[in-house]
Amino acid sequence: MKKIFIAPSILSANFAKLGQEVQEVLLAGSDIIHFDVMDNHYVPNLTFGPMVLKSLREYKITAPIDVHLMIQPVDSIIPSFAKAGANFITFHPETSDNIKNTLSLIKSFGCKSGLAINPGTSLSILDEFMDQIDIILLMSVAPGFSNQKFISSTLNKIYHVRKKIDRCNSNILLEVDGGININNIIEVVSLGVDIVVMGSFIFQSKDYKKTISIIKNKLNVLHI
């Protein structure tokens, strides 16, 4: 059975006790911790920087950390996140002056590299870079804020990106972020998604273990 990775986004966590919350969602069965990094320039919100990631590593968080950079320009911040302990770093094509160079920069630090695609961005941007990326992150909401409604047209994009990956016989991971909950996760995952980012649905629940167990049980029952 295909492994589906659950990646809680700390954008929805309680920052007064961030280390504890991250530890708890991992103990509850999460696989990856997702970092939504925003600069109040490329997107209209401001979140956190490399020191927050470093502090989690110092708190003995050893799980993979997936950094989604919504920052422009992007290259200057990549070394800091890589050195702080990022495992995956994705960025938006629009934020780079030279996408190939940015992908190479990420890889030079030993991190997996990826491209993040906004709802309004054409999938054709991926074609030139399929042999250089490890992750494709499809945004199923407009980037910038948590707790938004899933954009249904993303389902068609998931289908087509999965086809692109399969045609390349590639190990690229397909990730989706935004508005995913227990009511739509099956529809999303059944199209070939590997990593599901879930923020408010997990962090706003009263019992992380119960919530993540419900997610996994639903996926297991349908043999996805």
Query: Burial of 58 by CB count in 10 Å (0-12 exposed, 13-18 middle, 19+ buried)?
Result: exposed
164 token code pair? 């692109």
Q: Could you state, in order of their start, the residue ranges of all structural domains in the chain?
A: 5-221
pLDDT of residue 143: 85
Q: Tokens 């494709």 correspond to what residue? A: 136
**At residue 134, what is the residue type?**
D
In whole angstroms, give the CA distance from residue 29 to residue 31: 7
The three-state secondary structure class of 108 is helix
> Which active-site residues does the annotation give?
36, 177
Which tokens belong to 145?
Answer: 């804020």
Q: What is the pTM of this model?
A: 0.95
In this structure, what are the phi and psi dihedrals at residue 52, rounded to the nearest 5 degrees? -70, -40
pLDDT for position 222: 62
User: What residues are designated binding site?
Assistant: 9, 34, 36, 68, 144-147, 177-179, 199-200
| Model pLDDT, residue 148 | 77
- Residue 107: the pLDDT is 98
Residue numbers in the known binding site for substrate are 9, 68, 144-147, 177-179, 199-200
Among 53, 66, 43, 62, CA closest to 136 = 66
pLDDT value of residue 224 = 54
| Start-to-end Cα distance in the chain | 7
pLDDT tens digits, 176-221: 999 999 999 999 999 999 999 999 999 999 999 999 999 999 888 6
Question: Which of the residues in the chain have pLDDT under 50?
Answer: none
Residues 6+ apart with CB under 8 A from 155: 187, 188, 191
Binding site for a divalent metal cation: which residues?
Answer: 34, 36, 68, 177
Q: Which residues pair with 196 in a beta bridge?
A: 6, 176
- Which pLDDT does position 2 carry in this prediction? 77
* Record: fold of 5-221: TIM Barrel (3.20.20)
User: What pLDDT is stored for residue 97 in this prediction?
Assistant: 96
